[in-house]
Amino acid sequence: MSHEHRGASTSDEICVNPLFARRSEHAIPRWRLPDDEMLPETAYQIIHDELFLDGNARQNFATFVTTWMEPEATQLYVEAFDKNMIDKDEYPQTAEIEERCIHVLSDLWNAPDPHGTMGTSTIGSSEACMLAGLAFKRRWQLARRAAGKSTESPNIVFSSAVQVVWEKFANYFEVEPRYVPITNDRPYLTPEGMLAAVDENTIGVVPVLGVTYNGVYEPVKELAGALDDLEARTGLDIPLHVDAASGGFVAPFLDPDLEWDFRVSRVHSINASGHKFGLVYPGLGWIVWAKRDYLPEELIFNVSYLGGNMPTLALNFSRPGAQVLLQYYNFLRLGREGYRRVMQASKNAARYLAAELAKLGRFDVLSDGSDMPLVTWTTDDRERAWDLYDLSGKLRERGWQVPAYPMPADITDVTVMRVVFRNGVSMDLTRMLLDDIVAAIAFLDALPAARPDTVDPPIAFHH
């Protein structure tokens, strides 16, 4: 099977620095396993040098994912990177800490009985969403069979701004995705749009707490109220899963009175990314079900592994346990007040950038950090010889990774830029970015004509 190799170099060899190479070791194969071994220092240096070509993680304003933790957390990571989360018999204390984290989240998300919930850590929110969707599908199938009805043609409902993982879930597990169109005026899932899409084959509805494109919190309580009314009129009992990949670690601290979580009884489950605003290095997600009854027993497997008998409900088997310990470190280190201060600092920086961009008189600010600490903006109606892709490219020359991308289906004619304010994106960094935006605009304005279009047509941005 042939593969297209990405990157600028088409050479079949990698040169070895003479300072690190052994005698006669001048080059190694790029696309196949070397015939001989090499010194550990040499292997390290080859990879270390290649990583210079990566961007600076601190300047990556595109991603929601954590790029910095404290030295103590990094030390804990080094001490625990060999722990396998699935091996609860060998690492019982790590398993105990995972369980503590689940109940901490159950309490944070206002479960009526935090110790009566069920949950698990995952590799990320994508795996957590798959588990939520599977629980919906299996509960729907069981209820339909019990009523003597067909289990063919299940569907799931969300807005067209939903993250790509839900498209994957529908594809992989043969569920019809029903996308409710969004508009410029209402770029989120509305009760009216949802009700037009659901029927007796709907396994569940997925509102998003922190839409990827614009950071908006979809109105969970209003959606639940509409479904309550639907059940009263028709008998259809359709549950909600809240995809809180980003907002699940923001709303509890900055908007504690917002009812989006288990205070809304129709919410069966919630997922969140520990490696986003949970402030943990990449590789951690969480899912919690409000009641054990919401997770069908047949999705829980009891396995014998390395001398122990343990339940497992994740899609992955062996996976790192270190990130779970880092999550618990943050819970202990920060507490509610610490998380609140971190999130408030991120929101303050977002609101500052939004206000300063508006003052430039060149952009329309679409998201100003009022919900999630992120800012999106588009160009105003004036004529210009450049677009946001040009601005994004110019900023990249200074190391800033600020994406430009089209909005999702139904409003793809709108192109936006986005900055995500996670921990470590300080007010100082924000001011530096703003200075470079102003300088980039001045440069682009001075161009005699539009730059030639040398890139492929843009596609949706899915970070």
What tens digit of pLDDT does each residue of 142-153 get?
999 999 999 999
Instruction: Give the pLDDT of residue 451.
Output: 62
Residue 249 pLDDT more than 80?
Answer: yes
DSSP 100-141: HHHHHHHHHTT-SSGGG-EEEEESSHHHHHHHHHHHHHHHHH
Instruction: Give the pLDDT of residue 94.
Output: 92
Q: At 188, is the secondary structure helix, strand, or coil?
A: coil
Instruction: Give the pLDDT of residue 5.
Output: 53
Give residue 23's pLDDT band: very low, low, confident or very high (50, 70, 90). low
In the chain, % of residues over pLDDT 70: 92
Q: Residue 271: name the closest of 176, 180, 204, 342 by CA.
A: 204
Q: Residue 250: name the closest of 369, 340, 173 by CA.
A: 340
How far is the C-alpha of 186 from the C-alpha of 387, rounded, in Å? Answer: 24
Which of residues 20 and 261 earns the better pLDDT score? 261
pTM of the model: 0.91
Q: Residue 125: name the closest of 64, 62, 175, 179 by CA.
A: 64
CB-based contact 415:378 (threshold 8 Å): yes
Distances in whole angstroms, Cα of residue 240 to Cα of each of 89, 206, 224, 406:
34, 6, 7, 28
What does the pLDDT average to over 36-47? 88
Instruction: Give the pLDDT of residue 312.
Output: 79
Give residue 308's pLDDT band: very low, low, confident or very high (50, 70, 90). low
Instruction: Give the pLDDT of residue 322.
Output: 95
Give residue 1's pLDDT band: very low, low, confident or very high (50, 70, 90). very low
The sign of the dihedral angle between the CA atoms of 67, 68, 69, 72 is positive
Token pair, residue 457, equals: 């047509």
How far is the C-alpha of 247 from the C-alpha of 253, rounded, in Å? Answer: 10
Looking at the chain, the number of H-run helices and the number of E-run strands are: 11, 15
Q: Residue 417: name the closest of 456, 372, 453, 364 by CA.
A: 364
Instruction: Give the pLDDT of residue 92.
Output: 86
Instruction: Give the pLDDT of residue 159.
Output: 97
Average pLDDT value for the chain: 91
How far is the C-alpha of 289 from the C-alpha of 286, rounded, in Å? Answer: 10
Q: Which domains occur in the chain, in start order?
A: 13-54 (no CATH), 68-463 (3.40.640.10)
Residue 390 pLDDT more than 80?
Answer: yes
Q: At 307, is the secondary structure helix, strand, or coil?
A: coil
Which of residues 201 and 59 earns the better pLDDT score? 201
Phi and psi (nearest 5°) for 154? -70, 150
The sign of the dihedral angle between the CA atoms of 226, 137, 372, 118 is positive
What tens digit of pLDDT does each residue of 59-91 get?
898 899 999 999 999 999 999 999 988 887 788
Instruction: Give the pLDDT of residue 461.
Output: 45
Instruction: Give the pLDDT of residue 225.
Output: 98
Residue 241 pLDDT more than 60?
Answer: yes
Residue 457 pLDDT more than 70?
Answer: no
CB-based contact 418:216 (threshold 8 Å): no
Task: Return the minimum-mean-pLDDT range out of 34-38, 280-284, 290-294, 308-312.
Answer: 308-312
What tens digit of pLDDT does each residue of 392-401 get?
999 999 999 9
Computed on alpha carbons and rounded to an integer, the radius of gyration of the chain in Å comes to: 24
Task: Return the minimum-mean-pLDDT range out of 50-59, 176-185, 194-203, 205-214.
Answer: 50-59
Triad 120, 121, 125: Cα angle to 5° = 110
What does the pLDDT average to over 156-170? 96
Give residue 134's pLDDT band: very low, low, confident or very high (50, 70, 90). very high
What tens digit of pLDDT does each residue of 321-334 get?
999 999 999 999 99
